[in-house]
Amino acid sequence: MPGEKILIFRRPFAVALIALIALFTAITWTRSSWRGQLPGFSWFKVYQKTELTKMRWAIILRDTKHALQKAKRVVTRVEKTPNTLVLVIGESMTSENMSVYGYV
């Protein structure tokens, strides 16, 4: 029967194909330069890195929003008095040296 010959032909071909894929995978795994190029492993690694980056960005966004809310509460009050922020950058800053800048 013609159908039986096709089944007999397909089975050794499938076994040979699976053996060839297994051999290729084993060879590429032994080569350290090729190890990161296996699609199954490399895509899993890419997925892990993107999830880690998303988590880091979420933490940064949360911290930024918190800092912005804190800054709005402190600095942006609407009052008649002047709101002045003095930033003094010096090499050795102590409370004794602040009198130089007009603070007691």
pLDDT tens-digit profile of 55-89? Answer: 999 999 999 999 999 888 876 566 677 767 777 67
What mean pLDDT is reported for the chain? 76
Tell me which of 79 and 47 has the higher pLDDT. 47
Tell me the residue type at 66.
H
What DSSP character marks residue 99? Answer: G
pLDDT at residue 6 is higher than 60: no
Q: How many domains does the chain have?
A: 2
Does residue 83 lie in a domain region? no
- Distance CA(25)–CA(37), nearest Å, equals 11
Task: Report pTM.
Answer: 0.39
Mark whether 52 and 24 lie in a shared domain: no
The predicted structure's pLDDT at residue 15 = 86
Question: Which of 51-70 are b and which e, b meaning 16 or more Cβ less than 10 Å from the residue's Cβ?
Answer: eeeeeeeeeeeeeeeeeeee
Does residue 99 lie in a domain region? no
The predicted structure's pLDDT at residue 26 = 80
CA distances from 67 to 38, 62, 70, 78 (A): 43, 9, 5, 19
Domain that holds residue 52: 39-75
Does residue 100 lie in a domain region? no
**Average pLDDT of the residues in 41-50:** 81
- Distance CA(104)–CA(98), nearest Å, equals 7
Judge whether 97 and 90 are in contact, CB under 8 Å. yes
